[in-house]
Amino acid sequence: MRYQILISEAALKDIDDIEYYIGVVLLNPLAAKRLVRRIELKINTLSFMPARNKIRDNFYKVKVGNFRIIYKIENNIVIVLNVVYSKRNYSI
């Protein structure tokens, strides 16, 4: 069974912020593009068997380098909520 993927505005902003920080602040645009591509690819894998790495209740996470993609599953839809730096404290 395939799941539909929906990326929240907050997650899109997180990805833009990550790309900006690595590309502009750290002056490494190539690394920024590569990481964003890896995040996009990992999000796409969630369309198949997304119920892995459960955090609690209906919330899940998946790792991409030093970042975590936080998502939930509702019916047949994976909703990506945030993309956060793994050392950062975050709450659901």
Instruction: List pLDDT tens digits, range 22-54.
Output: 999 999 999 999 999 999 999 999 999 999 889
Domain limits for position 15: 4-85
> Is residue 11 a contact partner of residue 81, using CB atoms and an 8 Å limit?
yes
User: Whose CA is closest to 52, among 89, 90, 78?
Assistant: 78
The answer to whether position 91 is within a domain reads no
Query: Confidence class of residue 77 from pLDDT cuts 50, 70 and 90?
Result: very high
Domain count, the chain: 1
Tell me how far apart the alpha carbons of residues 63 and 49 are, in angstroms, rounded to a whole number: 15
The CATH number linked to 32 is 3.30.2310.20
The answer to whether position 90 is within a domain reads no
- pTM for the full predicted model: 0.92
